[in-house]
Amino acid sequence: MSDEKDWTWVLERPCSECGAAVQTLSREELAPRIRSTAAAWRDMLGRGALVTQPPHGASRTWTILEYGAHVRDVFDLFEDRIRTMLKKRKPPTFKDWNQDDAAKGYADEDPNKVAYVLASNAGKIADILDRVKGDEWAKEGKRSDGAEFTVESIARYLIHDVEHHLWDAHQILDGD
Ligand SMILES: [Zn+2]
């Protein structure tokens, strides 16, 4: 999902498409949820990599492999953002990230490698979140479009993002 699209409403209410209700999770549930979503993504890449084209006439333009590679990079990006928020005394402003530029070449990647690195990146974030305590959850950071996050809200935002794309991938498998 691009920084240019504002998906911050998912922090207030359940997503009407994928059904994720990230606002209801406790802080203790965030890291385990990231690990379980990463496991589901590995499974999805194992099954879905055989689907090399988006279904004919589909509204989605990415294949499951491309979604998976995007999610791998999203985990990597958010790990960097969360680490920076925790480290800096003053709230950092994140560099913009253009997902379409990043997506060039995703279709040629090796699905097994994507799955492996996706899980590894997710594990790094989960390990960081496991160690966050007290006031650290409220440490802030800002996106270049002005949207403000805390460590807690960006973790919730991330979980919706990667679960929403899992939902996208399921739609492709089911022949959307
Ligand atoms: Zn959603």
Q: What is the pLDDT along the chain (176 residues), one digit of tens a residue?
A: 444 467 888 888 999 999 999 999 999 999 999 999 999 999 999 887 666 665 555 666 788 999 999 999 999 999 999 999 999 999 999 988 888 888 889 989 999 999 999 999 999 999 999 999 999 999 999 998 888 999 999 999 999 999 999 999 998 888 75
Whole-number Å distance between alpha carbons of 112 and 162: 18
Distance of CA 88 from the midpoint of ligand 1 (Å):
30
Distance of CA 145 from the midpoint of ligand 1 (Å):
21
Amino acid in the structure at residue 162: V
**In the chain, domain spans:** 27-173
Distance of CA 37 from the midpoint of ligand 1 (Å):
13
Whole-number Å distance between alpha carbons of 174 and 167: 10
Per CATH, which fold does 27-173 belong to? Four Helix Bundle (Hemerythrin (Met), subunit A) (1.20.120)
The pLDDT score that the predictor gives to residue 97 is 86
Distance of CA 161 from the midpoint of ligand 1 (Å):
7
Strand partners, 140: 150
The pLDDT score that the predictor gives to residue 37 is 97
Four-CA torsion 17, 18, 24, 30, nearest 10 degrees: -150
The pLDDT score that the predictor gives to residue 10 is 85
Q: Is the separation of the CB atoms in 129 and 30 below 8 Å? A: yes
The pLDDT score that the predictor gives to residue 1 is 45
Q: Is the separation of the CB atoms in 140 and 85 below 8 Å? A: yes
Distance of CA 160 from the midpoint of ligand 1 (Å):
6
β-pair type (140-142, 148-150)? antiparallel
Distance of CA 31 from the midpoint of ligand 1 (Å):
19
CA-based R_g, the chain, Å: 16
Distance of CA 115 from the midpoint of ligand 1 (Å):
21
Distance of CA 40 from the midpoint of ligand 1 (Å):
16
Distance of CA 42 from the midpoint of ligand 1 (Å):
19
Distance of CA 90 from the midpoint of ligand 1 (Å):
31
Nearest alpha carbon to residue 119 among 77, 156, 159, 68: 68
For residue 117, CA distances in Å to 18, 27, 51, 75, 168 come to: 24, 25, 20, 10, 20
